[in-house]
Each structure stands twice: as C-alpha cells, then as structure tokens.
Amino acid sequence: MSRIAVYPGSFDPVTNGHLDVIDRAKAIFDRVIVGIATNVNKAGLFAPEERAALLRSVLPADPGIEIDVFSGLLVDYAKRRRANVIVRGLRAVADFEYEFQLALMNRRLLPDVDTIFLMTDERNFYVSSSLVKEVSVHGGDVSGFVPPAVREALDRKHGRIG
C-alpha cells in the first residue's frame, strides 16, 4: 500500500518554510499532494492557479510530489485522494494549539486518516505567508524567506517590475 500524504495550505505565497516541510514529508511518504486550499470568503494575493504555478516553478520535478487545488473540507479531499495522512507544518509553539484543534476535528470526521506535524527548519520559525506579504507590500526585502521566483512574482504584483 502506498503512503500518500496531503499537505494542505493556502501557500499565498509559498515560503521557504513550506518548501522545507514538503521536502521533509517527501522523505517519509511515497507521494505528497500539496493541496492548495481555496476559501471563497478570503481573497488571496495570488489566485489559486498562480499559487500552483509558483509551486511548480520552485519545486524540483518529482513524480512523488503533486500540486493540486481544492475547496471544501480537507477530510473530504483527503478521502477522495486516498491519503493516509495529513501533514501540517509547525513553526513555533504558538501554532500548536490551533493545529491540534484542527487535527482532532479532522480525526473525528475521518478516523482513518492521521495528522502528523513537521517542524520547519529553525531558520523559518518566524516566517509566514502573511508576514512575507506585509514586508513585500511595503517594499522590504523578502529574498531570505521565499525562492527567487516568488520574490519576483511579489514584485510584479506590487508593480515594482513589469
């Protein structure tokens, strides 16, 4: 039986911390589905298709990694994709309480799928997509937090390059 993991998130934009978690998950699972969650009540900086394109551009070609966009309940998506595990990245202790609640709810809704938490590298503890967007919108240098292609996409979004 193949070990399939779903790593869900908004990835708006993808950060070096996300890439670290994907790399760690790939070392554990046969297949990692990076699921870009859409939320009709929340407008992102990048459209889901743009986020998928950015992820594809920064991840090495690997048949064990798939990028997909989904909406609805994560557990329904995991079940449709026949995933055994949901992967969640943790940066710091502050993330744990919220993630723990989500994991328990998901476990209640779909008992056959476990959630595992992977810590990002300590260099990325404080990096979040929200902080990257905040720094970027004000013209700050985000090159240490995101891959070059993402930094360029942020600059284009903010009208700094054509």
DSSP H or E segment with residue 46: none
CA distance 128 to 16: 9
Q: Active-site residue numbers?
A: 18, 42, 91, 129
CA distance 90 to 159: 32
- Answer for the pair 91, 122: CB distance below 8 angstroms, yes or no: no
Instruction: Report the DSSP beta bridge partners of residue 70.
Output: 37
- Answer for the pair 46, 157: CB distance below 8 angstroms, yes or no: yes
